């Protein structure tokens, strides 16, 4: 069966071949997740290494996020005529070089530039990886295939980030970039070996990719991610302070808490893929409502330690459950230009990161305490649910209009 996301079947893969291809793409996600989140744990080391304050060093993380937001639409648009395997190789090559250049950065300014470069391929890679994964399986299994690619990002929080942080602390923060570059090289070899080569769509062009931006449903889906996922980040940004100041855990226990959060993300990716295959819009409705409810419960139970640990796992899972459905929805609403739309999802999620951190910090600065970001997050999730319901209503209305104007075959 040929998936709608590709125009040519190319090489037919066995089930084992499909698994290897998806695993190759997931390894790239593992490397991306490792470099993105390990920087947070190594921030004091980075600040000391380049001679700046910790708040200033935080701009290095912002530079990476800015690269994600800009790089996703830019790189996909300019490479519209490329075969998707070629694009995936280029993006992972750029990612690898960006991290190597960060290793050699000698001062704060050069480090900012190299982290921006390393962030450029992030969103575009996940976008093209999602399209490639979806093209390898039957349409009824797209959600699970996409979830398996995103699993690399979730597993990075459980395995890659702690290992990279430990290596960076023991052997110097720059060595983290060598580790990530090595993962990038492994990904390049795996993609070359396991991803089948397929020609680009004969009608591929910059105009065709940009046509996705004319579709209202693409923007609504991205808005669901920005607003709804903002609630997830409102909690994640301040989890350390909440766990120590409210739940009463010692700072030394935080790695366990972060690891539990990561395990929740892994579990959520599995569940989210199956939900997306069940119903794309339906799963978005269910997960957004679930996130809102869990954040409210978290706000009022986090002072009880065993409940705090349970809820941190559940919140990690609920956030990851949403990603496969959003990614699949973007493929559905952007026929003919799925790569750009799919890539923009990660720009939207990075904007959600900024929105959640800002909104959570705002209520904390007002003196509402460290549980307030969870309530703000719940409100954002409800708003995201409202946007999703509106998107679904427009879909239903469009189908009704098509049914009315459809000419009978025997007319």
| Pairwise pLDDT comparison (74 vs 286), residue with the higher score | 286
Distance of CA 41 to the CA centre of its chain: 19
Q: Residue written as tokens 């990886």? A: 129
Percent with pLDDT over 70 in the chain: 92
Q: 94: closest CA among 73, 74, 120, 116?
A: 120
Q: What is the pLDDT of residue 203?
A: 60
Instruction: Tell me the C-alpha to C-alpha distance, in Å, between residue 188 and each of 94, 151, 166, 291.
Output: 11, 18, 25, 36
Do residues 47 and 54 lie in contact, with contact meaning Cβ atoms separated by under 8 Å? yes
Residue 275 confidence (pLDDT) above 90: yes
SS3 content of the chain, % helix, strand, coil (to 5): 85, 0, 15
On the question of pLDDT at 403 being above 90, the answer is no
Tokens of 145: 């295939």
- At 100 the three-state DSSP class reads helix
Q: How far apart are CA 147 and CA 179, in angstroms?
A: 25
Give dist(CA 369, CA 238) in Å, integer.
Answer: 11
pLDDT-based confidence at 407, cuts 50/70/90? Answer: low
Give me 107's structure tokens.
């001062």
Measured between alpha carbons, how far is 58 from 41 in angstroms, rounded to an integer?
A: 11
Write the DSSP string, 227-277: HHTHHHHHHHTTHHHIIIIIS---GGGHHHHHHHHHHHHHHHHHHHHHHHH
Mean pLDDT of 164-185: 92
Q: Give the Cα-Cα-Cα angle 73, 86, 346 (nearest 5 degrees).
A: 30
Q: Is 70 exceeded by the pLDDT of residue 60?
A: yes
- 141: how many CB neighbours lie within 10 A of its CB? 18
Question: For 91-148, how does the pLDDT look when each residue is reduced to its tens digit (9 = 90+)?
Answer: 999 999 999 999 999 899 999 999 999 999 998 999 899 989 998 999 889 999 999 9
**Selected residue with higher pLDDT from 211 and 65:** 65
CA–CA distances in Å: residue 370 to residues 2, 227, 363, 382: 50, 20, 8, 20
What is each CA distance from 237 to 40, 182, 266, 284, in whole angstroms?
10, 28, 19, 23
Q: What is the pLDDT of residues 4-50, one digit of tens each?
A: 444 444 556 788 999 999 999 999 999 999 998 888 778 788 888 98
| pLDDT at residue 349 tops 90 | no
The average pLDDT across 378-394 equals 96
- Alpha carbons 113 and 105: distance in angstroms, whole number: 9
Q: In the chain, what are the domains? A: 10-204 (1.20.1250.20), 206-411 (1.20.1250.20)
**Residue 410: pLDDT band by 50, 70, 90 thresholds?**
low
Residues 126 and 32 sit within 8 Å (Cβ to Cβ) = yes
From the centroid of its chain, how far is CA 184?
Answer: 17
Please report the pLDDT score of residue 315 as a whole number.
93
Confidence of residue 268 (pLDDT cuts 50, 70, 90): very high
Copy the structure tokens of residue 235: 């909690």
Binned at pLDDT 50, 70 and 90, residue 389 comes out as very high
| pLDDT-wise least confident of 104-113, 217-226, 307-316, 336-345 | 336-345
CB 6 within 8 A of CB 13: no
Show the tokens assigned to 310.
């349970």
- CB contact at 8 A, 401 and 297: no
User: What's the pLDDT score for residue 384?
Assistant: 95
Measure the CA angle with vertex 156, ends 125 and 121; round to 5°: 20
The per-residue pLDDT for range 306-330, each reduced to its tens digit, is 999 999 999 999 989 999 999 999 9
As a whole number of angstroms, the distance between CA 65 and CA 39 comes to: 12
């Amino acid at each position: 069966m040929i998936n709608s996301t590709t125009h040519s079947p190319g090489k037919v893969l066995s089930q084992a071949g499909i698994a290897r291809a998806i695993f190759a793409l997931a390894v790239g996600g593992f490397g991306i997740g490792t470099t993105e989140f390990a920087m947070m744990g190594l921030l004091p080391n980075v600040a000391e290494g380049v001679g700046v304050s910790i708040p200033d060093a935080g701009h290095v993380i912002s530079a990476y996020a800015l690269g994600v937001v800009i790089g996703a639409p830019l790189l996909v648009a300019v490479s519209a005529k490329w075969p998707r395997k070629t694009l995936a190789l280029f993006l992972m090559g750029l990612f690898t070089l960006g991290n190597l250049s960060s290793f050699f950065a000698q001062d704060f300014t050069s480090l900012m530039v190299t982290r921006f470069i390393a962030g450029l391929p992030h969103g575009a890679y996940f976008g093209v990886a999602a399209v490639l994964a979806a093209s390898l399986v039957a349409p009824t299994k797209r959600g699970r295939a996409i979830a398996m690619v995103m699993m690399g990002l979730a597993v990075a929080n459980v395995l890659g980030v702690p290992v990279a942080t430990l290596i960076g602390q023991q052997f110097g923060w720059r060595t983290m970039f060598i580790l990530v570059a090595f993962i990038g090289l492994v990904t390049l070899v795996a993609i070359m070996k396991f991803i089948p080569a397929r020609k680009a769509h004969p009608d591929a062009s910059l105009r065709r990719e940009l046509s996705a931006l004319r579709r209202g449903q693409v923007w609504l889906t991205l808005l669901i991610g920005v607003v709804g996922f903002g609630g997830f980040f409102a909690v994640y940004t301040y989890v350390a302070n909440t766990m120590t100041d409210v739940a009463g855990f010692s700072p030394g226990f935080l790695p366990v808490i972060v690891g539990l959060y990561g395990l929740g993300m892994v579990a959520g990716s599995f569940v989210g893929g199956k939900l997306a295959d069940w119903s794309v819009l339906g799963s978005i409705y269910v997960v957004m409502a679930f996130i809102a409810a869990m954040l409210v419960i978290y706000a009022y139970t986090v002072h009880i330690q065993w409940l705090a640990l349970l809820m941190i796992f559940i919140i990690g899972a609920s956030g990851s459950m949403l990603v496969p459905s959003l990614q699949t929805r973007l493929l559905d609403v952007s026929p003919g230009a799925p790569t750009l739309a799919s890539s923009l999802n990660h720009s939207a999620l990075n904007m959600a990161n900024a929105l959640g951190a800002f909104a959570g910090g705002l209520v904390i600065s007002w003196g509402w305490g460290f549980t307030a970001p969870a309530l703000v997050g719940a409100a954002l999730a409800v708003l995201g649910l409202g946007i999703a319901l509106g998107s679904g209503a427009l879909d239903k209305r469009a189908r009704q209009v098509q049914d009315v104007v459809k000419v009978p075959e025997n007319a």
